[in-house]
Structure 1
């Protein structure tokens, strides 16, 4: 039982890394209707910005806050001067543009800061507590609770606020939203800015667990995309639940199914994607879209 609890807790901690990126991907999709493959790179850039502010002498909390604000501005500018040129065209072209943006951002980070590993301090204490025989890191527990709080805020934003409803309306039908008087351009910028700010929070949470490198979130981005597909593109709750499920199932399968082990556990999310797409294409928590023809 102690082993099971330990694997579950560690899986939730790892899944929280995936969930942080998955939430940002859901936010961009809800605001613009696009899937942002550059989200991992933008989160890494935000983490390096926070690191630079720390090196400049700012306290950790203040450095993270400034990085969040700077990331909001960067996200808004990226939408205004780059992504907007592709939003009205073929969605596949826009997706390719975000992949190119990922390459560009990763290259900029590598040129400015290099490929050497850098240590990022943690907001939370590194001590551990014993829960039913399992050793639980307070940092992992705090990270999980932070992701849970962000998920709740995003769910309230999209379902209960005028801004969230306006972002969803613009993503569903920009032309109709413009005719209704909504400032489509500004809302798109806000959506990308919020996603970039969320990426900064994700970078701040993940940075202490992984040493800072330009490609530190490349693998996590794959899992985050899997979580978004499993949970539903329009559901923050679904994205987080799926990310946690992937993290926990990976750990359990690696230990309790020797045939799979640690080498093949990466196949777990892809098997889940196949099953879910067959049984429920919109994801576990996603809305079924009905198109009138």
Structure 2
């Protein structure tokens, strides 16, 4: 029983890492209507900015807050001077642009800070406590609580605030939102800025666990995209629950399913994804899209 609980706890901790990036992807989609494949690269850049602020002698929390503010500005500028040039074009073109942006950001991070592993300090103590026979690190527990809190805040943002409703209106139909008097351009900048700021938080949470490198979130981004599709891209709660589910199931399969083991556990989320899409194409928590013809 102790082993089972430990596997579940470790899975929830790793799933929180996936959920951090998945939430940023959902935020961009709910604000702009597109998928941002560069979200991982933006989070890495934010982590390097925080690392640079730390090098100036600033406290960790101050360095992270400054990186969040800087990331908001960078995200807004990327939307204004890059993504807006492709507004109104084919969606495939926008997706390709974000993939290119991911490559560019990774290269910039490697050029400025090198490709060596850097140690990023954690907001939480490295010690652990015992619960039902399982050792739970304060770092994993803190990450879990932060992601759960952000999940709730995003759900409230999109469902209960005027800003969230305006962002969703722009994502659904920019032309209609413009006719209704909404400042579409500024709202798109805010959407990208908020997603970049959330990516900064994700980067600060992930970097101590994975070590800071330009490609530290490459694999995590794949898992995050799986969580987005599995949970439903319209639901912040859904993608986080899906990320936790992926983390737990891959841990359990690695230990209790001999044919999978640790070498093939990466296939678990995609098997789960295949089954869910067959039964519920909109995802576990997503809503069906109705198109009027």
Fold shared, TM-score > 0.5 on shorter chain: yes
Partner of 1:158: 158
Measured in 2, the distance between the counterparts of 1:143 and 1:289 equals 33
In the TM superposition, residue 85 of structure 1 has moved relative to its aligned partner by 1.4
| Higher alpha-carbon deviation: 55-64 or 83-92 | 83-92
Deviation per residue, 1:28-76 (Å, 9 max, x gap): 0000000000000000000000000000111100000000000000000
In the TM superposition, residue 87 of structure 1 has moved relative to its aligned partner by 2.6
Measured in 2, the distance between the counterparts of 1:258 and 1:85 equals 51
Measured in 2, the distance between the counterparts of 1:139 and 1:212 equals 16
Partner of 2:238: 238
Measured in 2, the distance between the counterparts of 1:89 and 1:233 equals 22
Superposed CA RMSD in Å reads 0.5
List structure 1 runs of 4+ shifted beyond 2 angstroms: none
Alignment of 1:33-52 (within 5 A): 33-52=33-52
Measured in 2, the distance between the counterparts of 1:86 and 1:200 equals 25
Partner of 2:143: 143
**Aligned pairs, number:** 293
SS across alignment from 1:208:
helix
Measured in 2, the distance between the counterparts of 1:53 and 1:252 equals 39
Deviation per residue, 1:250-272 (Å, 9 max, x gap): 00000000111011110111111
Partner of 2:168: 168
Partner of 1:58: 58
Measured in 1, the distance between the counterparts of 2:258 and 2:48 equals 39
Measured in 2, the distance between the counterparts of 1:10 and 1:225 equals 20
Measured in 1, the distance between the counterparts of 2:73 and 2:176 equals 27
Alignment of 1:70-149 (within 5 A): 70-149=70-149
In the TM superposition, residue 198 of structure 1 has moved relative to its aligned partner by 0.2
Are residues 1:191 and 2:196 paired? no
Partner of 2:287: 287
Deviation per residue, 1:51-106 (Å, 9 max, x gap): 00000111100000000000000000000011111231111110000000000000
SS across alignment from 2:251:
helix
Measured in 2, the distance between the counterparts of 1:2 and 1:144 equals 20
SS across alignment from 2:116:
coil
Measured in 2, the distance between the counterparts of 1:87 and 1:118 equals 37
SS across alignment from 1:129:
strand
Are residues 1:202 and 2:202 paired? yes
Measured in 1, the distance between the counterparts of 2:52 and 2:221 equals 23
TM-score, scaled to structure 1:
0.99
Partner of 1:254: 254
Partner of 1:274: 274
Measured in 2, the distance between the counterparts of 1:267 and 1:87 equals 35
In the TM superposition, residue 127 of structure 1 has moved relative to its aligned partner by 0.8
TM-score, scaled to structure 2:
0.99
